[in-house]
Amino acid sequence: MTSLFCFSQNAVIDSLDRVIKNHKSEDTTYVNLRISYVAKKMFLTPSDTTWTDYNRKTLEISKRLKYAKGIALSYNSLGIIQHYFLSDPLEALDYYQESYAIIENEPTLKKYAVGVLTNIGLINYEQQEYDKSLKTFKTLLEYPDYRTNTLFNIGNIYGHKKQLDSSIYYYKGAIFEAEKSNNIMHIANIKSNLGLVQSTAGYLNEGLKNTTESLALVEENNLEMLRVSAYVNAAEVYLKNDNIEKAEYYATNSLKLNEALNSLATKNSALETLAHVYERKGDYKNALSHYKEHIIIKDSVINADRKLEISRKEIQYEADKDRAIAQVEIARQKSIKNASIIGGSGLIAASLIGFILYRRKQEAVTKTKEAEFNAKVSDTELKALRSQMNPHFIFNSLNSIGDYILKNDTQSASDYLGKFAKLMRLTLENSEKSEILLSEDISLLKTYLDIERKRFENRFDYRIEVDNTLDADNILIPPMILQPFLENSIIHGLNKNTEKGQIIISFKDQNNMIVCSVDDNGVGRQNSESATSNTSNTSMGIAITKSRIDIINKLKNTNGDLKIIDKAKGTRVEVSLPIQFAY
């Protein structure tokens, strides 16, 4: 049965639509009507593909009228479509920043800053930048009219940080604020999340109560925008309450409903829940299948490249803002200079201002170069980590473990899983370190090679040689710098080899440089059939390693180098690095 609330909303929306159609001129009133219509209806019909064109037309009219409010809010609406409807946070961030730049320069638009900053904070939240997101939302607590959303978002962040009592506290505060205005959509959404967090914290009865109340509000008020997320949360809550049938029902239906929305984050959560459901039911084949799909989607939703791109956009936005401020300051200094000339002391003032501006320009150039170099460092570190955490390698390892399980070879499965878990743990632990001990890196390489040997059924052997003059417990090198070349040797060089593969890894001291090499007896780069189909992966590994060496050379003023040598049979890769001691 449709509620009075929903009926009332539809009546207002229909009335607005009629007013817009009957409005004769494209003026600021017309723009305001369109913005109001979007705010009331867009979230009720998120799968409507015409919203992008509708908002672009509003933006076009606003620009023609030079109407700052219309431009800012149209940009924000376009960001919302990319962010929430099309799952493209990078494109959304561009629109949000365009919107916020206009709002910052127009004091009368200050009240709209909350919505835009909230959306930017949510992008950081979705990319698991929780501390950055939390800082934004706690700042927004000073706006009392928007406390419901702000408290709700803070509750979400604490939930993901596993600080469940804090999460529950802020959710309850959000419900209290939402009930003041009887905002049914907010109440239903908050209760859904609160129910999940309470269940996770062990308050099963309270969690189930809030979940059922949320589902009831969704049904009674036809809150289609919330249905998918409410179903996903409900599935997890029922799973925690051992109600497997309802958990499966809500998780399965959330996937079906999500096909129209195409939300990767929602699909990711539903697949993870279904994996647990099938595991509880003893259907291990389906459990493994859903878990694999969950892992793949999770990697695409939250990945290093996307985080890096978002960080770049934020840095670029701040740089553009600083540049605009500098231009205003330069203009002001020019006015001072002109006045000084008129007053008779122009030459001295002009010289002084010229010197100041020159110094500022030099400082700006230096800072720009530093920022570019730091961005390159961050880019290289993130890409190096991603190359080590290759999704294909993870997926293939999970496949191999699954095969052993299906064959009831529990010992092999256990051995493989132990090595795989160790490699993932060590890789993540070392991801924040620019250098580790040579002995630690050798241990990492051994674990990686043992996993690959097992996956390729012992089709190759390897040995690691270290010069007697090198103390592996006192020399520092970048972690896993040889891993991309080992991967190339195994997949491209040895995989097509008719004889048993041999890989020799060596670390030698040459002229105060440590030469790290990978030598294989594979088919070589020219003869590898996979060389043509996997050129991008190979080139990426080489490019990442070169970037890492360039950074080391710049920081330490050295001449590190990368050489790839084609042999009569096989390939040899040499990475030269400056020797650095731990103590």
In tens, the pLDDT along 271-289 reads 888 888 888 878 878 778 7
String of DSSP letters for 120-134: HHHHHHHTT-HHHHH
So what's the pLDDT on residue 505? 94
Taking the C-alpha atoms of residue 428 and residue 443, their distance in angstroms, rounded to an integer, is: 14
So what's the pLDDT on residue 364? 53
**Same domain, residue pair 502 and 573:** yes
pTM > 0.75: yes or no: no
**Same domain, residue pair 366 and 488:** no
* Residue 574: band (very low, low, confident or very high) from pLDDT cuts 50, 70, 90: very high
Residue 560 lies in a domain: yes
**Same domain, residue pair 452 and 572:** yes
Q: Please report where in the chains the tokens 């050129």 appear, as a residue.
A: 535
34 vs 389: which has the higher pLDDT: 34
**Same domain, residue pair 445 and 575:** yes
Taking the C-alpha atoms of residue 395 and residue 401, their distance in angstroms, rounded to an integer, is: 10
Tell me the mean pLDDT in the region 574-581. Answer: 89
The tens digit of pLDDT for each residue in 416-465 reads 777 777 777 777 776 667 788 898 899 888 988 888 888 888 888 999 99
Give the domain-ending residue among 79, 103, 127.
127
**Same domain, residue pair 116 and 52:** yes
Q: Tell me how many domains the chain contains.
A: 3
Residue 120 lies in a domain: yes
**Same domain, residue pair 547 and 464:** yes
Residue 149 lies in a domain: no
CA 514 to chain centre: 36
| Torsion sign across C-alpha atoms 76, 78, 82, 88 | negative
| Torsion sign across C-alpha atoms 331, 336, 342, 344 | negative
Residue 506 lies in a domain: yes
First to last CA, the chain: 75
* Residue 504: band (very low, low, confident or very high) from pLDDT cuts 50, 70, 90: very high
**Same domain, residue pair 58 and 119:** yes
Tell me the mean pLDDT in the region 464-480. Answer: 88
So what's the pLDDT on residue 543? 73
The tens digit of pLDDT for each residue in 280-338 reads 878 878 778 777 777 776 665 555 445 545 555 554 555 555 555 555 555 555 655 55
- Give the domain range for residue 353: 305-388
So what's the pLDDT on residue 160? 84
Give the domain-ending residue among 358, 388, 418.
388
For the ranges 170-184, 307-321, 392-406, 509-523, which has the lowest average pLDDT?
307-321
Taking the C-alpha atoms of residue 227 and residue 249, their distance in angstroms, rounded to an integer, is: 13
So what's the pLDDT on residue 523? 81
Identify the CATH number of the domain in which residue 489 sits.
3.30.565.10
**Same domain, residue pair 14 and 117:** yes
Residue 70 lies in a domain: yes
With a cut of 80, say whether residue 530 has pLDDT above it. no
Q: How would you classify the pairing of strands 501-510 and 460-466?
A: parallel
Residue 529 lies in a domain: yes
- The closest of 82, 77, 75 to 103, measured between CA atoms, is 75
Identify the CATH number of the domain in which residue 68 sits.
1.25.40
Q: In angstroms, what CA-CA distances link 474 with 42, 217, 254, 513, 581?
A: 61, 64, 54, 14, 5
With a cut of 80, say whether residue 477 has pLDDT above it. yes
**Same domain, residue pair 449 and 564:** yes
**Same domain, residue pair 432 and 569:** yes
Q: Are 493 and 534 in contact (CB under 8 A)?
A: no
Hey, what are 93's tokens? 């961030």
So what's the pLDDT on residue 521? 87
So what's the pLDDT on residue 490? 82
Mean pLDDT of the chain: 78
With a cut of 80, say whether residue 103 has pLDDT above it. yes
Hey, what are 579's tokens? 């020797």
Residue 407 lies in a domain: no
pLDDT above 70 covers a percentage of the chain that reads 74
For the ranges 54-68, 176-190, 203-217, 417-431, which has the lowest average pLDDT?
417-431
Give the domain-ending residue among 100, 127, 154.
127
* Residue 555: band (very low, low, confident or very high) from pLDDT cuts 50, 70, 90: confident
Tell me the mean pLDDT in the region 252-258. Answer: 79
* Residue 522: band (very low, low, confident or very high) from pLDDT cuts 50, 70, 90: confident
**Same domain, residue pair 431 and 577:** yes
Taking the C-alpha atoms of residue 91 and residue 350, their distance in angstroms, rounded to an integer, is: 44
Q: Are 554 and 369 in contact (CB under 8 A)?
A: no
**Same domain, residue pair 377 and 481:** no
Residue 156 lies in a domain: no
Residues in the chain: 583
Q: Are 133 and 157 in contact (CB under 8 A)?
A: yes
